[in-house]
């Protein structure tokens, strides 16, 4: 039979796929310039901890999508301030929901060093991933049952 069409000829081509992450620090991103530079996807900061929502999230998230990029949202982890479950739920409420539209990447967790001790930090990250993974699996299951 005929081979399935793929957007990349080799794994190496796929590995060179160019993407960026943006947050409120970049403010008004020139998405046209990013696309001309070869950027194919963007991760946009949505939330941090359980009290911060990026004021530029919607503008950046929608802007990357409108220019034709694949986009995803990310959460900046603050394990020293809240449980993983609380942060995952906050992220899902304010931008972390994944949709099966072929242009949206799954939510991402930005883990950087913090003042939390290593045991609690890792336990809270695992808790976050469980909540986010459960939501994604549940969403996919519900969509498939409704179609």
Which residues are annotated as catalytic?
21, 110, 112
Closest CA to 98 of 117, 78, 122, 74: 74
**C-alpha–C-alpha distance, residues 70 and 42, integer Å:** 7
CA 138 to each of CA 17, 32, 62, 145: distance values in angstroms, whole numbers, following the listed order: 29, 35, 25, 11
Structure tokens at 107: 């939510």
**C-alpha–C-alpha distance, residues 64 and 134, integer Å:** 27
């Amino acid at each position: 039979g005929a081979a399935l069409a793929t957007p990349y000829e080799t794994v190496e081509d796929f590995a060179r796929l160019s993407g960026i992450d943006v947050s409120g620090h970049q403010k008004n991103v020139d998405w046209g310039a990013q696309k001309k530079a070869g950027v194919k996807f963007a991760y946009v900061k949505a939330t941090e901890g359980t009290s911060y929502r990026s004021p530029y999230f919607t503008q950046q998230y929608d802007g990357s999508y409108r220019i034709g990029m694949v986009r995803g949202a990310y959460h900046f982890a603050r394990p020293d301030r809240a449980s993983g479950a609380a942060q995952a739920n906050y992220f899902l409420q304010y931008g972390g929901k994944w949709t099966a539209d072929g242009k949206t990447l799954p939510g991402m967790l930005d883990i950087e060093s913090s003042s939390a001790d290593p045991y609690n930090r890792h336990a809270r990250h695992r808790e976050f991933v469980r909540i986010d993974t459960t939501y994604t699996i549940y969403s996919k299951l519900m969509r498939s049952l409704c179609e």
